[in-house]
Structure 1
Amino acid sequence: MLRPKNEDEKPKQSMFAQFARIFGISMTMLYIAMGIFIMFASEKLSLDIPNSMRYGLGGILILYGIVRFVRVYNSTRSNRNRYED
């Protein structure tokens, strides 16, 4: 038997959706941290990477981390809007 839907009652997200959101956020932080590490910490580790390549690769990783964050944020927001309707 169907029961009336309460206004305060929101459907719960599945375990997979929660895991995907947490995984996406953690990968975002990892990419940004790797970019910062490559840009600044490789001097102290004396890696033989030219400066232009270090800053280019670090910048690409940081930009990719930002793009991933925007995608995770938009998908989370669109899922919330779908459940509110």
Structure 2
Amino acid sequence: MLNLPTTEERLGKSPQRLVRYFVLVMALVYLGLGVWLFWSAGEPSGGGLLQLGPTGRRVLGGVFILYGLMRFIRGYQANFRKKPNFDDNE
């Protein structure tokens, strides 16, 4: 049987490190999309890609902004916040 190294052994780090940054990047993408939709609602051409009225673009942009903020906060809390140590008995 071949004794092949695992991905973690070859890379020297866990793939989970990449996932936690990807979560934050995707949250920023949602925020950026929401801001673009919200501010492009006033353009006369309607932005080109989405054929929505100004009110629809603002509502959809607001939803994307709120969703991006929620994902960013939850991703930060889950991956970057220091975990409390409950093993200490005072």
The 3 A distance-change label for structure 1 pair 82 and 16 is: farther
* Normalised TM-score (structure 1): 0.67
Contact kept? 2:41, 2:55, Cα under 8 Å: no
Gaps of at least 5 residues in structure 2 are 1-12
When residues 55 and 63 of structure 1 are mapped into structure 2, their CA distance, relative to the original with a 3 A threshold, is same
Matched-pair identity in %: 29
Which runs of structure 1 show a deviation greater than 3 angstroms over 4 or more consecutive aligned residues? Answer: 42-45
Q: TM-score, normalised by structure 2?
A: 0.64
Note the 1:1-85 alignment, pairs <5 A: 14-44=13-43, 46-47=45-46, 48-76=51-79, 77=81, 80-81=82-83
Unaligned runs of 5+ in 1: 1-13
Displacement, 1:44? 3.7
Higher helix share: 1
1:4-32 Cα deviation digits (max 9, x unpaired): xxxxxxxxxx5322111110111011000
Larger RCO: Structure 1 or Structure 2 (Cα < 8 Å, ≥ 6 residues apart)?
A: 1
Q: Give the superposed CA RMSD.
A: 2.3
The aligned length equals: 69
Alpha-carbon spacing, 1:75–1:16, altered in 2? closer, same or farther (3 Å): same
